[in-house]
Amino acid sequence: MIVIQNAVAVLYYVLSAFLGFLLLRNFVREKDKVDDMLMNLIVLIPLLLRLLRIK
Model pLDDT, residue 55: 72
pLDDT tens digits, one per residue of 1-55: 899 999 999 999 999 999 999 999 998 888 888 888 899 899 999 999 999 988 7
Q: Is the pTM of this model over 0.85?
A: no
Contact between 27 and 48 (Cβ < 8 Å): no
Helix, coil or strand: residue 45 = helix
Model pLDDT, residue 13: 94
Total residue length of the chain: 55
